[in-house]
Amino acid sequence: MQRLKIDQDIKPLSEVRTGIANFIRQVHDTKRPLIITQHGKGVAVLIDAQEYEVIQERLELLTDVQIALNQIETGNGIVHDEAKENVLRRVQK
């Protein structure tokens, strides 16, 4: 996802209501999110669907890494060679 450009990517809800198709096109074309404000405060984010999927996949991966790190810290991990043997045994079945 591209970095937010403050001067282009923050719009009041009233403006979004009247030009939603243009803003959807903007988000799709630029791959940047659009912050929607109401009464001067951010209330929602419009994001391209494919970019959302990428974010979800990254979040799942980071969650898995964090779980693995926690398991290693608590002594629940296994050494590399043992893990490799387990994987190869499963693949060969």
Q: Across-strand partners of 46?
A: 34
| Helix or strand holding residue 87 (H, E) | helix 80-92
Residue pair 23/12 in contact (Cβ under 8 Å)? The answer is no
Residue range 64-83: average pLDDT? 90
Alpha-carbon dihedral angle through residues 34, 58, 49, 27, given to the nearest 10 degrees: 30
Record the pTM: 0.67
Give residue 92's pLDDT band: very low, low, confident or very high (50, 70, 90): confident
CA distances from 12 to 5, 21, 39, 59, 65 (A): 15, 15, 8, 29, 38
Give the residue, 18 or 9, on which the prediction is more confident: 18
Quick check: 22 pLDDT over 90?
Answer: yes
